[in-house]
Structure 1
Amino acid sequence: MHDASCAVAHGDAPEPRDEPKTLVAIFASPVSAQLLRYALDLGYRTVLVEPDPTRTDPHAAETVSTLDAAGLDDNTDVVVCDHHRAEIGTLLRDTLAAKTRWIGLMGNPRHEGPHIKPLRDLGVPDEEIARVHRPIGLNIGSRTPAEIAIATLAGLIADRNTRPGGFAF
């Protein structure tokens, strides 16, 4: 009997699926820096969308100022990494209008999302607003940017593999 997990551990696993996948982080932040850094190791094409030209991130394969330049498609996961920016409404509206696989926004789930009012003010219907995942990532008690990035990427991997995440197999 062949055990795929053992093959991975011993370096005998077949090459991973060669599916195109892109991670777009909206807004430069300590979390976006970790997300983009770790996503490269997971085979993502990484893009930072940052309207402010003074904010950059060396871990992004590309940094662009608009969503149009990010090349969103149905293999793209989008994570909004700062919920205090004035551009959040228009950028999320445009992300929702594009074809993406997944959209998430950092934030405390005990409060109404800071994206809801700006999106409603822009006329985005509630069923579209509901497509924005919040909170992001697996519930592992993340407190640091690196932990949030790991939890987020683990959640994206679980979602891509149609798994719930956690230790249930």
Structure 2
Amino acid sequence: MGDVRKLVVVFASPVSAALQRFAVDLGFHSVLVEPDPTLLNGTPREHGDTYVADLAAAEIDEHTDVVLSDHHRPEIGAVLQEALAAKSRWIGIVGNPRSEGPHVAALRELGVPEEEIARVHRPIGLNIGSRTGPEIAVAVLAGLIADRNGKPGGFEF
């Protein structure tokens, strides 16, 4: 796969729409995973992203970055557990940097070891004060680009 990384964005949201819109132009193969088909709005967009119902269909490997674009969904524990088991390269979930994410308790309830829980990054994205879906997407993708290029990026909050 070379320098091309796969970006698997989980959960349809304004953040995921912006992530997918920008990711293709930035050299990522983009896949949206949405377990609830009622939340998918029509056919794939013209920039060539793919839509699937679960992580298995996304074909995650060591070149895959997984981003959960919504931290309020009840499936976060199960989805993250599957992403961790798939040995994705990088896993992150959006959320407020001032509080522990609900994913930690969800993963603990599923019996996921602490060292695996620690592989899930939160907050994600460069600290640029982003608030809107597109701003969050730019911050996340900038961080992933920095990582891809071996640069520190500025994830500190």
- SS of equivalent to 2:87: coil
Give SS of 2:77's match: helix
RMSD: 1.5
If the length of structure 1 is used for normalisation, what is the TM-score?
0.84
Give the match's secondary structure for 1:54. Answer: helix
Give the Å deviation of 1:106: 0.3
Q: Percent identity?
A: 65
Where does structure 2 lack aligned partners over 5 or more consecutive residues?
none
Report 1:4-153 matches (<5 A): 19-56=3-40, 58-59=44-45, 61-153=49-141
* Number of equivalent positions: 150
Q: In 2, distance between residues paired with 1:28 and 1:49?
A: 8
Q: Deviations over 1:87-116 (max 9, x none)?
A: 110000010111211100001121111101
Separation in 1, partners of 2:152, 2:5: 20
Cα deviation code 1:125-156 (max 9, x no counterpart): 11100111100100011111111100100000
Work out the CA distance in 1 between the residues paired with 2:153 and 2:114: 27
Which structure is higher in RCO with an 8 Å CA cutoff and minimum separation 6?
A: 2
Q: In structure 1, what residue type is equivalent to 2:140?
A: T
CA distance in 1, matches of 2:54, 2:153: 32
Tell me the residue number matched to 1:9.
Answer: none
